[in-house]
Structure 1
Amino acid sequence: MTQSGNPDYQVGDRSLFRTEQDPRTLKPYDTCLVGIPETLVRVIDVGHYDPPMDTGRLPRPHTLLIVLPVERVPQD
């Protein structure tokens, strides 16, 4: 799920991806730009795995970052 650049658009609020237009206006076979805008984040946790973590995908990650956008307050 994506969200548009419209700040009032709430659906998909957790998605990294943004579309050039409101996704609710798109129809099958329409085209649009999708991207991930630069975001200032706060590092919440860093995980190091030796051996690398088995996620079922390759390459297996050896480092995992947990981040939140700076404007979001972490809930303890």
Structure 2
Amino acid sequence: MTSGARRLDIAHWAQDVGKAGRLLADSFRLMVGVPPYGAYVRHMEATHPGKPVMDYETFFRERQQARYGRGTGRCC
């Protein structure tokens, strides 16, 4: 294997690892009730172009409130 081909393989591997990391992070966010912010922004731009888009902090708080802020003290 030439050094150029080796660099290409390493770059391809690095891209795959980066993609896997992003997917893993998205999975963890979904487990705690926070969908990916990028998906929210794309949805708003595609289906509600005239409406304002929440910034990340507002989006995060809104999702946390929707998931955990039901006002009930029950465990399950």
Tell me, yes or no, whether TM beats 0.5.
no
Higher helix share: 2
The higher relative CO (CA closer than 8 Å, separation ≥ 6) is in 2
Larger radius of gyration: 2
Bin for the TM-score computed over the shorter chain: under 0.3
Normalising by structure 1, what TM-score?
Answer: 0.23
Q: Larger % of strand: which?
A: 1
